[in-house]
Homo-oligomer: A and B are copies of this chain.
Amino acid sequence: MPTNARDRLLDAAEDLFYAQGTRATGVEQILETSGVGRASFYRHFASKDELVLAYLERRRGHWDAVFTPLVRARGGHPLDVFDVLAERLEAVGYRGCTFVNTLLELPDPSDPAHRLAVEQKETMRAFFADLLAEHGYRDDDGSLARKLLMLYDGASVTGARERSPRAAHEAREVAEVLLTAAPRTGA
């Protein structure tokens, strides 16, 4: 039974938190952007921190509902992740991976937002591991999946800095070299 105001708040929060960071975005600005009254805000969220968490959970849902299906639609090869990332880098206003940005902006490991971001990164690593296994790449110690995630994070940061999709293309090239040298299942 979410009312309209809640959705508008989350829409505004998603835009502003992502573009400016969570600390840099005040409640006031979210109210102005969403057109929601101050009272209504606190009827739907106990605090700004809870809105931040709801924002992160929404982005996590976006990963499950949009990002991974796009990778699957391309065939689900580990390299496809970097092609989907490249498309995102081309979008105006790309500003890096939400979860990398959040865990760097809120570095306290006991912060629920930090923890959620770390959990999401673990989900991404597991996704790489699944794709590798499904395509016959052996990764007994898990290092290959971690390296691909590290490449993904490096491309996200570089893309946010250069505001160009080149980083994703070059990350894909690195990943390609990595996979060429990787052992195959049953070999």
Interface residues of A (CB under 8 A from B): 19-21, 23-24, 95-96, 100-101, 103-105, 107, 118, 121, 143, 146-147, 149-155, 157-158, 160-161, 166-167, 170-171, 173-174, 177-178, 181
Show 26 residue pairs from A and B whose CB-CB distance is below 8 angstroms, ordered by the A residue: A21-B23, A21-B104, A21-B105, A21-B107, A23-B24, A100-B157, A103-B161, A104-B104, A104-B105, A104-B157, A146-B166, A147-B173, A147-B174, A150-B154, A150-B157, A150-B167, A150-B170, A150-B171, A150-B174, A151-B151, A152-B154, A153-B154, A154-B155, A154-B157, A177-B178, A177-B181
Which residues from chain B contact A151 at a C-beta distance below 8 Å?
150-151, 154, 174
Q: Which residues of B contact A177 (CB under 8 A)?
A: 177-178, 181
In the bound complex, what is the Cα–Cα distance between A101 and B105 (angstroms)?
8
Interchain CB contact under 8 A, A104 and B101? yes
What does DSSP make chain A's interface, helix, strand, loop or mixed? helix
Please name all residues of chain B whose beta carbon is closer than 8 Å to the beta carbon of A170 when the two chains form the complex.
Answer: 143, 146-147, 150
Chain B residues positioned under 8 Å from A104 (CB to CB)? 21, 95-96, 100-101, 104-105, 157, 160
Instruction: Give A55 to B121 CA distance when docked, in angstroms.
Output: 30
Which residue of B has the minimal Cβ distance to A152? B154
* Given A104-B104, A121-B161, A147-B170; 11 other pairs, CB 8 A cutoff: A20-B107, A21-B107, A96-B104, A107-B160, A147-B174, A149-B158, A150-B158, A150-B171, A150-B174, A153-B157, A177-B178
